[in-house]
């Protein structure tokens, strides 16, 4: 009779843990969707420089590769308020393939109005204002909206019941972009790591309400930099065309010195 009793005691010992897990999965930990995503966006540095590699392919197994350097800087002051109505700025420069080298983009994320977006094309030797909504990054399944870090003020956030993903329970948040964000998406749904607040999975619906893409960032490839967690690999799949793209962060430099002048549109011509 001792073995059944031991088994019973072991089962009883697990019950409080199981109930705690159920509370977390049902959203009874008190966090709203807005609070969860606030922690997601807080999980980043004030500025960063990274080198990214993008590989894309299709059902016929045709593949191409692009590389770029991405500079990002928060434009908030010491009180976390936007400076002159600007939340952040991003510069993207292609370094590969050869025919796209020195092509550069600048995205200025504004608080109460649409983003300011500029491009420099070496072939035309001039800078012009553009609208990058829905613009693919070198024909990949990533658009510039996917690559440029999102700002908290750009959307509304709703929490759904937690779900298991990649072997563990995750927060689930629905993101509905505001009209002034001029997003290519009508809705996004993200699965967020409960410990480090990294987005591990996102589904994307277009403006017609059709599910078009899904992005996955494997939890095993999330790295920590001074208490901040960064996904070093993300895979994007187009559910309509069955094309795919993989994004790799080959180098990541946090809180490096990036002068404000680097984000002047006139600097896009600099190599």
Residue 1 lies in a domain: no
Residue 4 lies in a domain: no
pLDDT of residue 131: 87
Residue 204 lies in a domain: yes
- Is pTM beyond 0.85 here? no
pLDDT of residue 152: 66
Query: Contact 154/175 with Cβ under 8 angstroms?
Result: no
For every one of its 271 residues, what pLDDT tens digit does the chain have, with 9 covering 90 and above? 333 333 333 333 333 333 333 344 545 688 999 999 999 988 999 999 999 999 998 776 778 899 999 999 999 999 889 999 999 999 999 999 988 899 999 999 998 888 899 999 998 889 999 988 788 887 789 998 888 877 767 799 999 999 999 999 999 999 999 888 888 999 999 999 999 999 999 999 999 999 999 999 999 999 999 999 999 999 999 999 999 999 999 999 999 999 999 999 999 987 6
E strands, 43-96, are 47-57, 63-74, 86-96
Q: Is 113 exposed, middle or buried (0-12, 13-18, 19+ CB in 10 A)?
A: exposed
The phi and psi torsions of 67 (rounded to 5 degrees) equal -135, 150
CA distance 107 to 115: 7
- CATH code at position 102: 2.50.20.10
Other C-beta atoms closer than 10 Å to the C-beta of 93 total: 20
Residue 25 lies in a domain: no
Query: Contact 215/198 with Cβ under 8 angstroms?
Result: no
pLDDT of residue 12: 31
Residue 80 belongs to what domain range? 33-269
pLDDT of residue 239: 95
| Structural domain count, the chain | 1
CA distance 70 to 16: 47
Residue 18 lies in a domain: no
Q: How far is CA 60 from CA 82, 214, 241, in A?
A: 46, 20, 11
Residue 101 lies in a domain: yes
Residue 20 lies in a domain: no
Residue 11 lies in a domain: no
């Amino acid at each position: 009779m001792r073995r059944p009793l031991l088994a019973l005691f072991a089962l009883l010992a697990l019950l409080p843990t199981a109930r705690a897990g159920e509370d977390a999965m049902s959203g009874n930990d008190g966090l709203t969707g807005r609070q969860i995503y606030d922690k997601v966006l807080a999980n980043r540095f004030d500025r960063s420089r990274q080198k990214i590699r993008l590989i894309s392919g299709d059902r016929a197994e045709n593949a191409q590769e692009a590389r770029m350097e991405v500079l990002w800087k928060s434009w908030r002051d010491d009180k976390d308020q936007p400076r002159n109505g600007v939340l952040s700025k991003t510069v993207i420069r292609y370094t590969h393939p050869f025919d796209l080298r020195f092509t550069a983009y600048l995205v200025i994320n504004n608080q109460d109005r649409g983003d300011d977006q500029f491009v420099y094309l070496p072939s035309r030797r001039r800078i012009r204002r553009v609208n990058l909504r829905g613009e693919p990054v070198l024909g990949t399944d990533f658009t510039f909206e996917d690559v440029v870090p999102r700002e908290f003020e750009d959307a509304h956030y709703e929490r759904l019941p937690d779900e298991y993903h990649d072997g563990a329970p995750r927060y689930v948040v629905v993101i509905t972009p505001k009209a002034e964000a001029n997003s290519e998406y009508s809705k996004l749904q993200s699965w967020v790591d409960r410990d480090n607040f990294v987005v591990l999975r996102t589904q994307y619906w277009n403006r017609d309400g059709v599910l078009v893409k899904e992005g996955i960032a494997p939890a095993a490839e999330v790295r920590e930099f001074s208490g901040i967690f960064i996904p070093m690999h993300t895979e994007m799949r187009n559910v309509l065309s069955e094309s795919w793209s993989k994004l790799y962060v080959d180098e990541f430099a946090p809180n490096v010195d990036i002068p404000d002048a680097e984000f002047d549109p006139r600097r896009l011509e600099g190599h």
